[in-house]
Chain A
Amino acid sequence: MMKISLLWGQIIKKICALLFVALSIFASTTAFAELEIDITKGTVDPIPVAIPDFLSTHPQTDQIAKDMAQVIAEDLERSGLFAPIDQAAYIEKQTDINYQPRFSDWRLINAKVLLSGSIVLTSGTRLQVEFRLWDIYGMKQLDGLRFATTPDNWRRIAHKVSDSIYKRLTGESGYFDSRIVYISESGPKTMRVKKLAIMDQDGANPQFLLAGADLVITPRFSPSAQKITYLSWERHRRGEPKRSQVYQLDIESGQRELLGDFPDITISPRYSPDGKKLIFSMVKKGNTDIYVFDLHSRSTQRLTTNQAIDISPSFSPDGKKIVFNSNRGGKPQIYIMGANGKNVKRVSFGEGRYTAPNWSPRGDLIAFTKSDGGKFHIGVMNAKDGRGERILTSSYLDEGPTWSPNGRVILFTRETRGLHGKVAIWSVDLTGRNLRKVPTPGPASDPAWSPILP
């Protein structure tokens, strides 16, 4: 009996000790319990930016100072991420960009960011452009750069300033100092003349790259932005019928070169990320497969051997994978394979027909054209597994997506219904909220965006 009572006593002691420890732990955790909050909702409204005219020290640069501010404001506004504030609302008139602005004056007009810049004409022939970017609420300078150029190059400097602002405020590279190569169309739909043309990304400085009235399609920039590859329907030799051939054009010199004399029809050439190869489809004996053409050795390697139609290949930014379009599953769908043509995997499984896939320079998404329900759409999907499909645009005919250098905006061709339907280049950002028509001198199609210019 004595032993039992002793045993009970010990057990109770141990239980009490355990309870005490548990209570202590509970008390300590509750005493230091931290309030934890999950914030998931913010604003996606454009950032209000104040962009006064640049300060000019010379009458010769007065107009450039105004125009430069306007080009920057237009660049930023077009991105959909920034909302330039009307200059009429500005309270402070800066006289020197090297002095800190009166932040309260800019807060009054709800500006979050202020750009102040100046232009100095040095040695009579060169422009020196400076800018400072101010955080109005943080009351600090965010960025400051200086560029030097010739006066006729002021637009590029304006685009470079826009790129700097974009990068500083979004973390991503800008895309304003870039160009677009496209097909300028004229004549009736049944007898269209398609000419190769180029312009700045904002539609400025449009010009034809080739003379003549040949039928040119699918131009693509090289990674260096110095060369363009395209397809041209030409009679290569006297007496032969016209057929599509792959050409390469040097933009600076205007020199063009026939890349391989392929007896068969070639379709949709595109450069590899290192610029050393071209990838395209070729129709051989009624079968369309994907080929790689080495620009140095001029040799061709076949990548797909399927009986189906394999077209529209596009390299991933790292050059390790290729996305393409094939009807091997019954109807056109999107597939991914290794750069050597192995490990083919289907990534699109939705309703409709998927065509013209294009890998984003960021590497995370694939843009495509989809036809479904009597309409054409431009959409994106995850490059990893094809999930997360998002349709960005829909119309009678939207096709041929091409990415901005930073992988944020997509250009595509939109054509309206009917024999006299109009064809134009449009842009949409990844959110689908910022859909705009790109200004071109006339009907335009098949755009390709250059990388950021060197």
Chain B
Amino acid sequence: MKFGLPLSFGIHVFSVLGSLVLWRGNVDLEQFVIVPVELVSVADITDIKATRKKPPKEIIPDLGLAIPEIAEEKPSAPAALDATEETKELAEESPKPDPKQSAFSLNDFAVLAKDARDSDTSAGEQRILVSEANIAQTDQQGIGAQSGNTVKPQEYIAGKLAGLWQINDGAANYSDLLVVVRLYLDEKGDIVRLDILNEAQIIASNNPAWKTALENAESALRTAAPYNGLRSLDYEKWKMIKINMKPEE
């Protein structure tokens, strides 16, 4: 133990420095990608017909001048889908394309479909679904996580007893009629054993309503069984429960 003190000092320094390093960790800020959320307003502007009226044809007074003929230009297709009102108006104003150019022939389509079917030999077979849902092999996130939405054993048992535990609120000093019970449960939530911890005190009492309170408490606990809503993974926590049954004033 000659070097005990310096050794201890060294270990402490090492552990402090080590913990500082571990504490700092490798925090990669890049993994937190901030996704900007844009306020998108959806409007059916593209379906709205132009409301601007066509300007009235200008009446040109016949001055006896010859009007030169202007060759008519074919309209060009709109550049983008987000046509503005103005472009839409222009598109409407432009002459319609020749219907022969965009004609859709059902016969042609049927021929194409038949060809495709003939070329695929497995088209007539019933396909086996390969994208069926996977059997859950891991706990789903949040379920049984003992979060705020998970009922606590206290609340579960209190809820089960609330409608069954008969309280005689007109009895003498009824709010002092404490019954302390130790409940031993099996994994299915059935009662294995039920001990009244303050039975001697109740029997010795000269308040007859206390004995009835004991009976009512025991009856409620037995009627409420099995307590199968408790989380089975936590069995070690609730296999033995001490219950203080005391009506509030």
Contact = CB atoms under 8 A, between A and B. Distances in A.
A and B form one complex: yes
Given A37-B158, A42-B165, 17 more contacts: A5-B3, A5-B4, A8-B4, A8-B5, A36-B241, A36-B244, A38-B243, A38-B244, A39-B157, A42-B164, A42-B167, A42-B247, A43-B166, A44-B166, A44-B169, A167-B208, A170-B209
A5 B2 CA distance: 6
Contacts of A36: 241-244
9 contacts: A2-B2, A35-B154, A42-B161, A47-B166, A137-B223, A171-B168, A171-B207, A171-B213, A431-B169
Contacts of B94: none
A257 to B, nearest CB: 36
B8 interface: yes
Interface in B1-46: 1-5, 8
A415 interface: no
Interface in A31-53: 34-44, 47
Contacts of B163: 43
Interface in B163-207: 163-173, 207
Contacts of A12: 4, 8
B5 A5 contact: yes
B29 to A, nearest CB: 39
Interface string A6-29: 101100100000000000000000
A9 B3 CA distance: 10
Given A34-B241, A364-B173, A39 B165 contact: yes
A408 B171 CA distance: 8
Interface residues of B, number: 46
B244 A408 contact: no
B173 to A, nearest CB: 7
* Chain A at the B interface: SS class: mixed
A169 interface: yes
Contacts of B238: 35
B35 to A, nearest CB: 44
Contact of B157 (A6, A37, A40, A43): A37
Interface string A104-139: 000000000000000000000000000000010110
A432 to B, nearest CB: 10
Interface of B: 1-5, 8, 153-154, 157-158, 161-173, 207-213, 216, 219-220, 222-223, 237-238, 240-248
B164 to A, nearest CB: 7
A243 interface: no
Given A12-B8, A40-B247, A431 B166 contact: no
A407 B209 CA distance: 13
A34 B219 contact: no
A35 B242 contact: yes
Interface of A: 2, 4-6, 8-9, 12, 34-44, 47, 81, 135, 137-138, 167, 169-172, 362, 364, 407-408, 429-431
Contacts of A35: 153-154, 237-238, 240-242
A6 B163 CA distance: 68
Contact of B171 (A41, A135, A167, A171): A171
A167 B5 CA distance: 77
B246 A40 contact: yes
Given A5-B2, A42-B161, A137-B219, A37 B170 contact: no
B171 A43 contact: no
Contacts of A9: 1, 4
Contacts of A40: 246-248
B172 A407 contact: yes
A82 to B, nearest CB: 11
B168 A170 contact: yes
B12 to A, nearest CB: 11
Contacts of B5: 4-5, 8
A176 B158 CA distance: 35
- CB-CB nearest 7 A-B residue pairs: A171-B212, A42-B165, A42-B167, A430-B170, A40-B248, A171-B208, A171-B209
Given A8-B8, A39-B246, A171 B210 contact: yes
Contacts of A431: 169-170
Which of B164, B166, B220 has the most chain A CB within a 10 Å cutoff?
B166
Given A5-B5, A34-B242, A171-B209, A43 B158 contact: no
A408 B210 CA distance: 15
Nearest to A432: B170
Contacts of A138: 219, 222
B4 A39 contact: no
Contacts of B222: 137-138
A43 B166 CA distance: 5
Contacts of B246: 38-40
Contacts of B153: 35, 37
A433 to B, nearest CB: 9
Nearest to A168: B212
Which of B163, B172, B242, B248 has the most chain A CB within a 10 Å cutoff?
B172
A39 B245 contact: yes
Given A5-B1, A38-B246, A42-B162, A81 B168 contact: yes
Nearest to A430: B170
A436 to B, nearest CB: 15
Nearest to B249: A388
A39 B243 CA distance: 7
Contacts of A5: 1-5
Nearest to B209: A171
A172 B244 CA distance: 23
B167 A170 contact: no
Which of A34, A171, A407 has the most chain B CB within a 10 Å cutoff?
A171
A308 to B, nearest CB: 33
A2 B3 CA distance: 9
Contact of B212 (A8, A137, A169): A169
